[in-house]
Amino acid sequence: MALMVRRLVQLYVGLALYGLGIALQVSSGLGNDPWDVFHQGLSRRFGLSIGAWIIIAGVVVMLAWIPLRQRPGIGTISNVVLVGVFADLFLWLLPEPAALTARWAYLVTAVLVGGFATGCYIGAGLGPGPRDGLMTGLAARGRSIRVVRTAIELTVLAAGWLLGGTVGIGTLLYAVAIGPLTHAFLPVLTIKRPDSAPAPAAEPEPEPAPAG
């Protein structure tokens, strides 16, 4: 029971921090991660908040799990709903950075927070994020997960850019840094079950998110 409580607390702290990371990066105006370029582009073109589009996109992605026979966990459902809620909350709470130094501070903090948050919610072991599940489900059909991930992220990045989402140095920084950061945080944050045997560490394939 205590272990499950710990896993749930870590999951929801991770999702809240993930929303904070999204809000910081969007507020910096220096470029979003690929999925949030897409969410912001949808928001600018069709209305609704970025957080609302994070939730809508998460639901649509989860529908693609059905033919892939992927099974969501409580972490998956929580990710779909709460990342967007927290992103909108922090976008409302955060002061807008005026100076370039403040915008860079937002961006660097966003990437660090995103890496830690990804380690939190994956390490809780309560189900992958919707975009993670899509990538692993497609990869299980005989494709390299790196190829699948790259193809999906380039697609949403291009679509988001065409819709008016912000692409910039922050997009590149996130792409370069999020994998190594998650790789560093995940072993520390993974909650092991008492009956689980230790296994060799493997590099995770995190969501960027998000998303969630």
Q: Is residue 66 part of a domain?
A: yes
Count the domains in the chain.
1
Domain coverage including residue 179: 2-189
The residue type at 52:
A
What's the pLDDT tens digit per position in 142-167?
A: 777 778 888 888 999 999 999 999 99
pLDDT at residue 100 in the model: 96
- pTM listed for this prediction: 0.87
The verdict on residue 141 lying in a domain is yes
CA distance 54 to 167: 17
pLDDT at 196: 54
Rounded Cα gap, residues 179 and 183, in angstroms: 6
Task: Give mean pLDDT, residues 70-75.
Answer: 86
- Give dist(CA 20, CA 43) in Å, integer: 18
Tell me: the pLDDT tens digits for 86-102?
999 999 999 999 999 99
Identify whether 209 is part of a domain.
no
Whether 38 is in a domain gets the answer yes
